[in-house]
Amino acid sequence: MSRWWHEAALYQVYPRSFQDSGGDGVGDLAGICQRLDHIADLGVGAVWLSPIFRSPMADFGYDVSDYRAIDPLFGDMAMFDRLLAETHARGLKLLLDFVPNHSSDRHPWFEESRSSRDNPKRDWYIWRDPAPSGGPPNNWMSNFGGSAWQWDEPSGQYYYHAFLAEQPDLNWRNEDVRAAMKDVLRFWLDKGVDGFRVDVIWHLIKDAQFRDNPPNPRYAPDQPDIERFLQRHSADQPDVHAVIAELRAVIDSYPDRLLIGEIYLPVERLMTYYGANDDGVHLPFNFQLIQCPWRADAIGALIDEYEAALPKGGWPNWVLSNHDQPRIAARVGQAQARIAAMLLLTLRGTPTLYYGDEIGIADIDMSEEQVLDPAARNEPGVSFNRDRSRSPMQWSADAFAGFSQSDSWLPLTRDWRQRNVAAQSADPASLLNLHRALLRLRSAEAALQTGRFARVAAQENILAYQRGATIGVMLNLTAETVPLELPAGWNVQQVLLSARAGEALEALPPMLGADEGLILRLEGSDG
């Protein structure tokens, strides 16, 4: 059965950095409303918002203190309702970021849990006595550095936090916790949101025996603390799938809603999150391209492995950048960013675009004094500084890049006066217009939406594949011009799009230029 996300591309908005309407240097919901036409004109089908719930902002919204309230930094519920209505009015879906693994330590649930050992909500979080030695209960490490256990002097126990100490993990083995969180989902679904991206969903269940994690034999001193041990007992537990099935049942009780899971796992483990009976998340986020060397052979092998591993009925998806990882333009350069766009938007499955990638925003340069990311501050020089990929959207060459009326909460990139939406809208060959052309083509060609994928043989450093029977794609992942050698069986009728030109070509060129990609119409019937 075809679902709307089989045909739509998703667009991630980091609200703090998209558009400031109030002049305080921080993006907000009203600002997103102002820029919805840009998103709609781009040609995507859905908007995913990083967290907007009430939060002390220890981790910029991933520490929620009220799951049913909008943080005043972003607006209020009336503004959210307007945003939802205006998004739907443009034919777009709206997805929210759901953060259920942990709350803020200022959430009333945790304040009650912390108040005494016999409080009814004590078991809503993960509390343990000290080890016989008097230290933490086990060797589990925080993703943000140091032990994942925080001593609580008044109650004489440790509580577990996979991230900051201000982000205590909820106990998802507790039925009351699961019921409360499912009620949160229903609250937003009743409002009309179209689905959720669930933060660190593979973390929800921990080993019931709290066994030590085994040492990581590949750990090196220049790696973050979390890499010291293999996360065998602190994440990706077999019991998590039953919990996810409960969440999926809530989603399925509403028509046409989407459930996405954030999951950083190898392909074979990732596939289990579709669920044994198609009762897992609809889309276990596929971050493999983020972590893959940018070479035709490596990417081709990865795609083949991923496609072969998909369970029956499992729908693929692809991601190149997000708020936690280096931007694609920073990783591969501006020229190859065009190839990356063509790759992302022609693979089989649902693509997710990260705001600003459509104009080639790269990572920002920052001094140590400017760093706000708590992970990078806790482990300087070791953890990736996530601030670098969260810089404000660059709308124009006007003051403050058209993002705000004052200095923004994070610096702009050095080239913002040249690299912005206004400048690229006026340039037919820009990266922005290439994205628009790719998304128009994807919308017009059924083979690019739901057609089968088949990688075909091509010369070295060229990634070539076919979508359905009618579309061929050839991508040059190098800065070298090479003779164009078509794969066997390809009879080209038309060059639908060139990555370098940003438009169709009148004839098939004899050479495949440096950093060039071609989308070709082939002789055949739709597949």
Distance CA 264, CA 269 (A): 9
* Contact predicate 502/434, CB 8 Å: yes
* Contact predicate 280/274, CB 8 Å: yes
Q: Which of 28, 169, 199, 445 is catalytic?
A: 199
Burial label for 209, CB within 10 Å (0-12, 13-18, 19+), is exposed
Distance CA 324, CA 347 (A): 23
The residue type of 215 is: P
Give start and end residues of each alpha helix (H) in 43-103: 77-89
Q: Which of 262, 357, 379, 387 is catalytic?
A: 262
Is 262 a catalytic site residue?
yes
* Contact predicate 46/11, CB 8 Å: yes
**Angle between the 77-89 and 175-191 helix axes, to the nearest 10 degrees?**
60
Is 485 a catalytic site residue?
no
Beta strands 46-49; 93-98: pairing state: parallel
The residue type of 218 is: R
CA distances from residue 329 to 11, 129, 211 in whole angstroms, order as listed: 17, 47, 41
- Structure tokens of 456? 């075909």
Distance CA 351, CA 361 (A): 18
Active site residues: 199, 262
